[in-house]
Chain A
Amino acid sequence: MVTRGFFSGRRPPSDTDTRIPPGQYLEQGFPVLSAGPTPRVRTEDWSFTLKRGPRPLKTWNWAEFNALPQSKMTRDIHCVTAWTKFNTPWQGVMIDDILADAGIEPPTAYTLALSFDGYSTNVPTKDLVTGKAMVALLYEGKPITPDHGGPARLLVPHLYFWKSAKWVNGLQFTERDEPGFWELRGYHMYGDPWREQRYSSDP
């Protein structure tokens, strides 16, 4: 349906078209979105735990986690509130390397990412491994600021950005695909930006 009188000049340059998913627009800044106040987690108090259901498999403190092999990922990110940002540079620990350090294979097909503020979000395990996702520690070469999820946030850049949980403090492997915080509140279980899976009513 064409909107009467709407002729915007805000079209993306044509060479970028193929990088902007449907319904998204290109953003130069880096907006902040979250469900509550910004937690300020001190690295002295920080830890990261892998769990299977309620059972902890391994925990790292800040120093131990930073000693794991670090990788860089520069990716386009897509927020469900309709902005897309190109070429965001992150550095951190690939989920593959976290699993390797724990000496385990992914035990189940589903994962909940858990955060210090009680937030959680579900991601199929296969979307976290084989070089697809990391726990990011640096953005543009600097520690991630608290409003963007520092000290550490999950980075799953091929899904809508709410899946990249801020203030992450663990991954919990689950037997079933269990909805996380936003998924319980109307957001999509998977969240593929290229299929516009924003809300639970989207196919």
Chain B
Amino acid sequence: MAVTAGSKVLNNVEAVRETLYEAMKSDDRTIILGEDVGARGNVFLITKDFINEFGPERVIDTPIAEASIVGIAVGMAMEGLRPIAEIQFADFIYPAFNQIVGEAAKTRYRSNGEYTCPLVIRTPYGGGVRGALSHSVSIEALFYHVPGLKIVAPAFPADVKGLLNAAIDDPDPVLFLEHKKTYRLIKGEVPEGHYTIPIGKANVIKEGRQLTVVSYGLYVHWALEAANQLENEGMSVEVIDLRSIRPMDRTTILNSVEKTRKLLIIHEDNKFGGIGAEISAMVAEEALFSLDAPIRRLAAPDVPAMGYAEPLEHEYMSSPAQMADAMRELVKF
């Protein structure tokens, strides 16, 4: 990989780590709290050695108590700190649902702006790592229904850094989703220094004329792989990386759909009530007459999560080959 001046190549773990490090360095109101974030430096080593440099007051190894990890962070945020709470795996965020949905998302609203909650909740999510039922779930659909939250799910290291910086600077609560299979798999150029990518802006990562594919997280990479294969077959597919799930970038999606006249949404989360449902509804409401084919969704079946056994994981997930098939079908429709 040729590296531009002022950039370096990082994987997604390193991008998170560098961003957190810079946030800790630049603002002593920043506090990291979560399970095993201190001495162990997080289970993926994202905060390794932070505790030595910043001290246990700023890098808090919490008890195993997710509701209060988030709840205490909410209180810190209400009283002037800038906490970054970590949920060790997204599968364990459910005990904190109350604090995220009932409290963090409503702090500003319920006090009519008197109190605010500038909080980041980071958590690794997603499968393809033999994570079984409880180390591989996608949680975004459970939270994107909730006004008061922002949700981002970047796929590329440069977006990880830009969006994490944006989340940390944001005056409202942000749920920051890190796809754990991309952690070490995906590398890319990351600019040095502080920069932000606005929350709510999608990115057209491949331009095309015959079909719009919208995805996020790990599947962005697989969708890109599939789209490139179709390119070799003479089909032109546009791929949009959503990056932000709440708010969502209507303009980029509609502009693309109006050009290609076909839409495929691909996500790892369950199909029923998933992100694709909202995008489909929006496009149907706003651009039905621009469509030359029914909207299609390629998403997980209606089972709780992927199984541990290899065939169960495989069956649950969509492969690049399945993505290519769905794309071909729609292009030819």
Are A and B part of the same complex? no
Which residues of chain B have a CB within 8 Å of any CB of chain A? Answer: none
Using a CB–CB cutoff of 8 Å, the interface residues on chain A facing chain B are none
